[in-house]
């Protein structure tokens, strides 16, 4: 045994401490991972509920949220290029991992720049059902670069497949009080009722009107655009581009057209699912 104040003893003690601490930290990380994943999934469910206006997720217990999801929300895997729903989807499919896997992703080549080079070929869409099991809204996952980070969120589209029902962001690294104002309830509320494509025009990219204005939108664009976030022009531009991108033919355009009412202005306006 080396003397207590020797260099060898100091090294042994510090090495032992390091090993014990790192075992504790990595053990905790491994043990807590399932709980973290569950909480993340729960948070996403809350955001979907908020985007679709199905209630205040903060006031719901986990059980109530899960029940609501079970009853009213159907998750389908959509092939973005064809717009078709994928049969026999793998429930464990993770679009974020797919976006990084060259077998499951494809390059983003769009006039609408979301600051990213690739996106997944397939992604989950959440169909919100009414009491009769008909699709009442669809909640689409969207993402794109802001100033500091990729913002991840959901946008809900009404059954006319033209009107935004809600927009939420559940993950981003923008500055609180500036770009972080994407989470501000009064800003989010401004999206409800905004039109995606020019009214009466086909759902084509050249008719995309939805977006974020610099400052307040001019009167002719007020049906489509929301005020920019002050002091956060870059984040605002990111939100503008990502909405246009995900509603375009490179994003959910083909899927949304497949849901759109066959005859615009049809009496019941129900989508063809």
Ligand X SMILES: Cc1cc2nc3c(=O)[nH]c(=O)nc-3n(C[C@H](O)[C@H](O)[C@H](O)COP(=O)(O)O)c2cc1C
Nearer to ligand X, 208 or 229 (CB): 229
Instruction: Show the binding pattern over residues 227-246: x = contacts ligand X (CB under 6 A), - = does not.
Output: ----xxxxx-----------
Applying CB under 6 A, which part among 11-19, 161-169, 175-183, 242-250 lies near ligand X? 175-183
Q: How far apart are CA 13 and CA 121, in angstroms?
A: 53
Q: By the 8 A CB rule, do 213 and 227 touch?
A: yes
Tokens 């045994």 correspond to 1
By CB under 6 A, residue 175 contacts ligand X: yes
Length of the chain: 273
By CB under 6 A, residue 212 contacts ligand X: no
Strands 164-171 and 150-158: what pairing?
antiparallel
Instruction: Give the burial string for 48-74 (b: 16+ CB within 10 Å, else e).
Output: bbbbbebeebeebeeeebeebbeebbb
By CB under 6 A, residue 157 contacts ligand X: no
Q: By the 8 A CB rule, do 32 and 24 touch?
A: no
Nearer to ligand X, 27 or 231 (CB): 231
DSSP for 221-251 reads GTTTEEPPPTT-HHHHHHHHHHHHHHHSTTT
Applying CB under 6 A, which part among 49-57, 156-164, 171-179, 204-212 lies near ligand X? 171-179
Q: For the CB of residue 238, give the shortest distance to ligand X in the complex, in Å.
A: 8
By CB under 6 A, residue 213 contacts ligand X: no
Instruction: Show the binding pattern over residues 99-128: x = contacts ligand X (CB under 6 A), - = does not.
Output: ------------------------------
User: Binding ligand X by CB under 6 A: which of 108, 142, 178, 260?
Assistant: 178
* Residues lying near ligand X in the complex (CB under 6 A): 147-148, 174-175, 178-179, 231-235
């Amino acid at each position: 045994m080396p003397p207590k104040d020797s260099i060898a003893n100091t090294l042994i003690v510090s090495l032992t401490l390091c090993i014990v601490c790192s075992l504790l930290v990595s053990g905790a990380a491994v043990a807590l991972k399932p709980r973290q994943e569950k909480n993340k999934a729960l948070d996403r469910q809350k955001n979907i509920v908020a985007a679709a206006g199905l209630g205040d997720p903060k006031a719901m217990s986990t059980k109530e949220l899960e029940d609501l999801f079970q009853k009213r929300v159907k998750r389908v895997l959509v092939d973005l290029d064809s717009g078709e729903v994928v049969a026999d989807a793998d429930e464990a499919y993770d679009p974020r991992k797919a976006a990084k896997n060259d077998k499951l992703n494809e390059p983003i080549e769009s006039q609408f720049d979301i600051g990213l080079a690739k996106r997944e070929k397939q992604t989950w869409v959440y169909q919100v059902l009414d009491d009769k099991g008909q699709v009442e809204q669809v909640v689409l996952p969207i993402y794109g670069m802001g100033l500091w980070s990729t913002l991840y969120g959901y946008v809900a589209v009404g059954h006319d497949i033209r009107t935004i029902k809600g927009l939420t962001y559940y993950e981003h690294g923008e500055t609180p009080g500036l770009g972080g104002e994407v989470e501000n309830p009064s800003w989010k509320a401004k999206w409800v009722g905004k039109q995606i494509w020019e009214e009466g025009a086909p759902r084509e990219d050249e008719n995309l009107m939805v977006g974020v204005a610099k400052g307040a939108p001019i009167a002719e664009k007020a049906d489509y655009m929301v005020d920019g976030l002050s002091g956060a022009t870059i984040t605002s531009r990111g939100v503008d581009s990502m909405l246009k991108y995900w509603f375009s033919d490179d994003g959910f355009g083909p899927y949304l057209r497949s849901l759109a009412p066959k005859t615009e202005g049809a009496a019941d306006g129900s989508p063809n699912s």
